[in-house]
Structure 1
């Protein structure tokens, strides 16, 4: 039996347990840094598997790490389990139907992400034990990817200092190597303080914090013409000053998300936004205070690991979807717009196939999409150690991330199939690295070449702390 066949058999043997884990976490959607029940599910599974478990990793109550094996290289496999607000949805139906009493939902598939990553780590653990090979595999349960930058805090705390390579994945419409492109970003809260007064009897005595927020937003909107074309700036009101229009608003708060191609390009943009906030305060005779909530780096590629991952995916072949899977995916596609489906193919540089609700091929590594990109705190791990990510085909083609359609598909047989498929590929890469020190050496050389003279520097301010107990999604 070939080694890849053996590791894939070990993954397959555990699939039912980890499909159940994914479904349990789907049923308890928890937001950024509040994943108490979800991390408990992951901790219990790690202990049941015999991993050496570390809780409160990096002093984050909802972060956990399990390690198995002795000596040899250290292979990290990264999982997540946080959900999103406002995406409550029943599973298995192709129409929007919120779950009664629930407001959040797994609209980015992190219930699958965490379970699939741990499944890969557990199979590698069993393989190391069965073969008596030196090596350590670690599962990192990472909270707060959606806005909290937990991995950035974990990197800063030294949680990855002795790791040789890191492997992760993300649910998607296609199976293949994740194109290693993302935007660095910073989230900052701007709180303006003015002076309340009666808006009719004494407006001249008031100083409106809401006016300051609105002027800041106008200033940033004018700034958009004069920043790099791939940079992005978004904002959301957290506190508009109350519901009484006859009171001059004495306090108002806005959250800004500033994105740029890399950390070097991000820093000057952040300073420009800060100056606009100061100007808005000056114009309104208010004051402004700021708090950095999170910050993440852009992703770094790693060609040796990407080649190893693609080889494993090609050996596996496409996910073995069933006729029932395709039928459900087709029903989901009927809720999408044609442009959603077309954009999904173009994002990956693929020809559009309108008659295929599920994609049953491995995306070539050479495929280069032209679509817009988001951000991920995996970027900070990729600056610290050589990192590779897969995409797993778990959704109907065209399904937009952060949507009710993702939640509806989150417990489906096709989602389980895609999760197990990518777990086999990740476990295969881990095995390749453990058995071939040359792969790790090449990955580290590639990593150093990309960093060049710019060693990792956390985009988080030195005094920034994980936003525990704070709703990052309001």
Structure 2
């Protein structure tokens, strides 16, 4: 049986995949600077017998690993970028940031390795059974704030793929059946005139004033946009550290989200008008630089059903006493609000239920039922743009204690725990089983393709990132 084959394969290769996850964990790199992680993972693909194309889509840290030939072509999406400000010593129960303070606070060391493990298992099955078909593993950089996959989609990297599978670490075991928020990320830069803030302030024109006025204006805008939308900002350049100087340069980075790209664009245009107004009020010059964007996620229900049945087939290995104790310790580090809203986190990933099965527990030990949902995850992912051009399904498996929010030191701390690695291999097993099922029974791809075709006919894809915009690294101002 396929399930026995995949389980046995992953069991034999368990230490290898844990080693890969740990390497990526201990070499955290932010968007489009994942040079060590990408090269390491690409080299592991070559060791496993894949043909690797580096610099995919013109992105230094993107690659595509391919095995086999002919149809169907099944793709696995892997990520490996980390987050600035979330460095954390592993397996701790208190905040202990690393010197570099960059860490896998979203579990992408697990995500990339788990997707690779699934690709390897599917490859091995084709190899051992002499079946036609093509396995592709996509090394996708810059998901965190960079929309790497959106750039890759724009450059045609996913052309010819029949179905794409991926996953995400979380505290839950379920199908990620919700849509997501589309977004734009944009820099607003103001240039003024410096001057002595006491002796000749009237001669200066403050760029920092412009940033502050813009932010005030946008905060008033919040009342007049749809409630599902989100507007975030970070002041990335305050113009210096001297209060006795009128700041001549300042910058703010905005992230605008909404359920549809069209809605994001409408809000973005209003934000631009506010920025222009701030420039007029302060007599400064405004430059707007579009950084990146992504679409909303389009679930493929036919593919989700196959992935859900594969997750059930994979099953769950129960946590041991040490894992339970560690999870309980981490639970105690969460605020009262985080503990009270732990079910909201699970529901965001697709969990269905009242939480009764978690009574007295700190780790998820069950698989949530699968139900199609019209709900929207209040977050964004560049997997979304892949879902507009390839039928796509996502699974999540429990790699962290209940209540653990993403993008926290607690998430980073659990990144290479034994429980996290169990969840990683559970996701790999589910994705591999789904792919093997499609390789063995090509007719099961037909409803997947028909559903996707029906969507595409009414919803032609337009990349939300303009053609002149290219992937950018995190910009740091001294």
Normalised to the residue count of structure 1, the TM-score between the two structures is 0.96
Write the deviation string for residues 433-472 of structure 1: whole angstroms up to 9, x where unpaired: 21222222211211222334221100001211011x4438
Runs of 4+ in 1 over 4 A off after TM superposition: 367-372
Q: CA deviation at 1:366?
A: 2.0
Cα contact 2:295–2:385 (8 A) shared by 1: yes
Residue aligning to 1:362: 367
- In the alignment, which of 386, 390, 395 is matched to residue 391 of structure 2? 386
Which residue number in structure 1 is paired with residue 8 of structure 2?
9
Q: Select between 128-137 and 363-372 the one with higher mean Cα deviation.
A: 363-372
Matched, 1:471 2:475: yes
Distance 2:477 2:237 in 1: 13
Q: After alignment, is 429-438 or 257-266 more displaced?
A: 429-438
For 1:127, which of 125, 128, 148 is the aligned residue?
A: 125
* 3-state SS, counterpart of residue 395 of structure 2: strand
Residues 178-257 of structure 1 aligned to structure 2 (within 5 Å): 178-257=176-255
Displacement of 1:368 in angstroms is 5.8
Aligned position for 2:462: 457
**What residue ranges of structure 1 are gaps of 5+ in the alignment?**
none
2:321 counterpart residue number: 323
Contact 1:169 1:391 in 2 (8 A): yes
Give 2:354's aligned residue: 351
| 473 and 76 in structure 1: CA distance in 2 versus 1, 3 angstrom threshold | farther
Residue pair 1:85, 1:473 contacting (<8 A) in 2 also: no
Aligned to 2:445: 440
Alignment-derived partner of residue 87 in structure 1: 86
Deviation at 1:349, TM superposition (A): 4.2
Instruction: Using the TM superposition, name which of 66-75 and 318-327 deviates more.
Output: 318-327
Q: CA deviation at 1:327?
A: 1.5
- Provide the rounded CA distance (Å) in 1 between the counterparts of 2:73 and 2:375: 35
Q: Report how far residue 4 of structure 1 moved.
A: 2.7
Kindly state the Cα deviation for residue 343 of structure 1 after the two structures are TM-superposed: 1.9
1:37-116 equivalent positions in 2, closer than 5 A: 37-99=36-98, 101-116=99-114
Displacement of 1:147: 0.4
Change (3 A) 1:452 1:319: farther
CA shift at 1:371, angstroms? 8.2
Alpha-carbon separation, structure 2, partners of 1:9 and 1:32: 35
Taking the aligned partners of 2:452 and 2:415, their CA distance within structure 1 comes to 34
CA deviation profile, 1:289-329 (whole Å, cap 9, x unmatched): 11111100110011111100111111222233222211111
CA contact (8 A) 1:349 1:367 kept: no
Q: Do the aligned residues in 2 keep the contact of 1:32 with 1:472 (CA within 8 Å)?
A: no
Give the superposed CA RMSD. Answer: 1.7
CA-CA distance at 1:388 after TM superposition: 0.4
Distance 2:444 2:476 in 1: 39
The number of equivalent residue pairs is 471
- Check whether the contact 2:184–2:257 (CA below 8 A) recurs between aligned residues: yes
Say if 1:122 and 1:110 are closer, same or farther in 2 by CA, change over 3 A: same
Query: CA separation in 1, counterparts of 2:367 and 2:336?
Result: 23
Gaps of 5+ in 2: none
1: CA distance, partners of 2:328 / 2:268: 43
Deviations 1:354-387, CA, capped at 9 Å, x for gaps:
4111110001112869785210000000001100
Establish whether residue 397 from structure 1 lines up as the match of residue 396 from structure 2: no
Q: Corresponding residue for 2:416?
A: 411
Structure 1 SS opposite 2:280:
helix
Q: 2:93 and 2:150 mapped to 1: Cα distance?
A: 36
Asked whether the 8 Å contact 2:189–2:252 carries over to 1, the reply is yes
Q: Are 2:3 and 2:314, in contact at CA under 8 Å, matched by a contact in 1? A: no
Secondary structure at the aligned position of 2:102 is classed as coil
The change in CA–CA distance for 1:372 and 1:176 in structure 2 (over 3 A counts) is closer
Distance 1:155 1:455, change over 3 A: same
* 1:152 match: 150
Instruction: Show the counterpart of 1:374.
Output: 379
Distance 1:177 1:362 in 2: 9
Aligned to 1:23: 22
Q: Deviations over 1:133-186 (max 9, x none)?
A: 110001111111000111001000010111111000000001111123210001
SS at match of 1:9: helix
Q: Distance in 1 between matches of 2:171 and 2:323?
A: 13
Q: Return closer, same or farther for 1:3/1:326 CA change in 2, 3 Å cut-off.
A: same
The whole-number CA distance in structure 1 between the counterparts of 2:476 and 2:303 is: 33
Take 1:337 and 1:250, find their aligned partners in 2: how far apart are those partners?
A: 41
What do residues 80-137 of structure 1 show as CA deviations (whole Å, max 9, x unaligned)? 00011111111112111123x2211110000000001000000111111111111000
For the Cα contact (< 8 Å) 1:319–1:393, is it kept in 2? no
The answer as to whether partners of 2:88 and 2:413 remain within 8 angstroms in 1 is yes
